[in-house]
Chain A
């Protein structure tokens, strides 16, 4: 079902968390609300499921205005960070709870519960209690409970935050598989860019109660609208250096480095201070613009090495390259930047 937030605002007392936010989630889409903690992403989530009353604006499910409808009637499935399973009930009772509340006939409850248990692969655990399950299994039960009554929308509030790294990888693809199989509209709240990029159709990146950019993960990575977006996506993260526009080139501040203007940027007038963003994968042996510096840090990641390159002016760039032995710490090197992959930002962070 299509979800629309129309000029939605939320404040707690005098604190305005979100103002006039408009966001559309298409039917069957999985959208990530990505942002640092305190940016209002969980507030948005709780407004959609009705736990928080909105201060202004409307929330629409399909064509129906849900703004004043109580949580119980919105039919929203929520998976909480702590899973919030009912500790005194077995797995089967947990999953069946939403159906029993609806007073479905017992045979129907059992059928739907088992169908859902099969979908999330927990058929063998139905008689256990939540305390007897691992984190990943609890997560599956929480998903099954949220999905069993065919909700209009599935909300996932940092669902992977409590899992260890290996399980996180597994559940990431599991959640996506289940979402695609059921075709349900889903919203994932997370502060982890990898989760957002790997699981979702589109990402809405938020900061300080505002949506900065909505795009597919690929588009957002290739074409960030602001320095904040560029800095949030990508691991290892992008590096920024200060520079100045001079004669159609970018002169790096306090260093004898000139970079060509990226083709996709509007050329600012001479003397304009700008910020140049260089992703680690775009600095290395190949490229067209040379950069000299000293290797100040080497991190071995197995398949790849991550280098910190300190320039003459003290700013640090990151480079990720195939693992090799020919450079080591404190070497002076001349590497190259792919200038068509540079990002140019104004001083206020806006992309040029």
Chain B
């Protein structure tokens, strides 16, 4: 108990320091369900009017459900693409004696360090030419390509920890190289696959710039772009609506973290025991 007593000044100092942050989160939540008189922070009535966007679509905007579906499709598709390609490319770079392996490894590293935003004009032009501008598929491909270097390096790192003997044993047991990868090696890097999938999903869910530039309007709009359009709309400026949509936007992320936090913490505890 003395330990608790001794640490109270530190707890107090930390509480004061983090109070603004906590207050901001609290108000993000409170403001969406209440109204306050002008000039006051204390709410005086409970209301659900800020959440009407869920069932009422204003003219000129997409339905929130359509936009959410777009976001979901965008995030899952990029995550799937990144996981599938990285899990294969990482294996190849870790294990197989491919020509110019060093060059590929260095190249992937450079691409990872490359700020994607500098490519936006070129990507815009390419998408225009191939006819994927303002489509969900176009942004998905671009986003997956940008996330892939990280994924490939992450997966290569996981594959590097799998002992060679397991593969040799598989080959001796009569399995083809592909079967060895699929049945013996892939299960050893499951924590990596899971981490990468979750990571890529969250990156996709939070992505703003790419969809904003490459699929700004029309049916491909995602939640982040929808949200930005709300602030940009000077005619119907509604702070509470913005906060409600914001809360709606981050809810899936919070739920994901809530359910998978133990996995996320165990992510680097995988591999085989000696």
Listed in ascending order, the chain A residues whose CB lies under 8 Å from chain B are 49-51, 71-73, 75-78, 80-88, 97-98, 101-102, 131, 145-146, 149
Contact = CB atoms under 8 A, between A and B. Distances in A.
7 contacts: A51-B168, A72-B171, A78-B172, A86-B170, A88-B187, A101-B179, A146-B172
A98 B166 CA distance: 13
Given A87-B188, A87-B273, A82 B172 contact: no
Contact of A71 (B165, B172, B184, B272): B172
Interface in B154-173: 163, 165-166, 168-173
B172 A86 contact: no
A76 B169 CA distance: 10
Nearest to A102: B174
A84 B174 contact: no
Given A71-B172, A78-B172, A84-B166, 18 more contacts: A49-B172, A72-B171, A72-B174, A72-B176, A78-B169, A80-B165, A80-B169, A82-B165, A84-B169, A86-B166, A86-B169, A86-B170, A87-B166, A87-B273, A97-B175, A101-B175, A145-B173, A146-B172
Contact of B172 (A77, A83, A88): A77
B159 to A, nearest CB: 15
Given A72-B176, A77-B172, A84 B163 contact: yes
A68 to B, nearest CB: 16
Contacts of A85: 169
B264 to A, nearest CB: 21
B171 A88 contact: no
B274 interface: yes
A87 B272 contact: yes
A174 B190 CA distance: 36
B169 A88 contact: no
A50 B175 CA distance: 13
A85 B165 CA distance: 9
A78 B168 contact: yes
Nearest to A146: B172
Nearest to A98: B173
Contacts of A88: 187-188, 190
A75 B174 CA distance: 7
Given A51-B171, A145-B173, A86 B184 contact: yes
Pick the most buried of A49, A50, A75, A78: most chain B CB atoms within 10 A of its CB.
A78
Nearest 3 A/B pairs, CB to CB: A84-B165, A84-B169, A98-B173
Contacts of A86: 166, 169-170, 184, 187
Contacts of B188: 87-88
Interface of B: 163, 165-166, 168-176, 179, 184, 187-188, 190, 272-274
Contact of A76 (B172, B190, B273): B172
Contact of B168 (A73, A84, A87): A84
A77 B169 CA distance: 9
Contacts of B173: 97-98, 101, 145, 149
Contacts of A75: 174
Nearest to B164: A84
Nearest to A88: B187
Contacts of A97: 170, 173, 175
A71 B173 CA distance: 9
Contacts of A72: 171, 174-176
B168 A82 contact: no
A153 to B, nearest CB: 11
A84 B171 CA distance: 12
A206 B187 CA distance: 39
Nearest to B179: A101
A65 B188 CA distance: 36
A75 B172 CA distance: 7
B174 A98 contact: yes
B168 A80 contact: yes
B186 to A, nearest CB: 9
A158 to B, nearest CB: 12
Contact of B174 (A51, A87, A101): A101
A50 B184 CA distance: 19
A139 to B, nearest CB: 14
A71 B274 contact: no
Contacts of A77: 172
A165 to B, nearest CB: 20
B90 to A, nearest CB: 18
A77 B172 CA distance: 7
A34 B160 CA distance: 31
Contacts of A102: 174
Contacts of B171: 50-51, 71-72
Pick the most buried of A78, A84, A101, A146: most chain B CB atoms within 10 A of its CB.
A84
Contacts of A81: 165
A216 to B, nearest CB: 29
Contacts of B168: 51, 78, 80, 84
A145 B166 CA distance: 13
Contacts of A73: 174
A177 B176 CA distance: 32
A131 B273 contact: yes
Contacts of A87: 166, 188, 272-273
A13 B101 CA distance: 18
Nearest to B168: A51
A131 B173 CA distance: 21
Contacts of A84: 163, 165-166, 168-169
A72 B171 CA distance: 6
Contacts of B175: 72, 97, 101
